[in-house]
Amino acid sequence: TRFRGVTGVQTCALPICFPVTIGHSTNEQWRNTPTHITLIYGPPSAGKTTYVNKHRKPGEMVIDYDTIAQALGSPDTHGHDPIHESVNAARNAVLRTVRQGKVKTPRVWIISSNPNAPAIFPYHDLVRIDPGLEQTLKQARQAGRPKGWLDLIRNWYKQTSDIPTANATVNSRRW
């Protein structure tokens, strides 16, 4: 996975290369900064943003696809297909600055509905928000989520069926 293991260097061993050292630390500088990164992940409509809003402090950065979409002009709180490409580009740019250690806030909260989020994003703490399939479907209906949301939730659970469903906080790294 991209952000696990020891950061280091690789030597180019191909015949067309001179024996040079290629540094791979540019995107690993987040490990060396005082900014604490908490990754919040779970299915759509699980309550990830609610959790962050309850626990965050003033001055802490929150990276949330839906919030970025609204900042870019989406009139909706969820379901931003017309501007998806732009939202993703903006989100990735912010995530890149986090990975590069350029963020100066005391904490960064990354919110993701990607079931593979722990393997994709950098983090010091990992929090899985997961009220279970039936409760998540109920919350989506009550919140009036866009058409197709219930299928997204069901697909999330299909992709993560081998992972325990209890909410958990995990320290991912020894510091």
Structure-token pair, residue 128: 């899985």
Q: Determine the Cα–Cα distance for residues 71 and 65; give it in Å rounded to an integer.
A: 10
Triad 125, 90, 27: Cα angle to 5°: 50
Q: What pLDDT digit, counting tens, does each position of 39-48 carry?
A: 999 999 999 9
What pLDDT score does 23 carry? 38
Percent of the chain with pLDDT over 70: 71
Q: What pLDDT digit, counting tens, does each position of 142-168 carry?
A: 988 877 889 999 999 999 875 544 444
Q: Determine the Cα–Cα distance for residues 65 and 111; give it in Å rounded to an integer.
A: 8
- The lowest-confidence range among 37-51, 57-71, 76-90, 121-135 is 76-90
Triad 91, 94, 96: Cα angle to 5°: 110
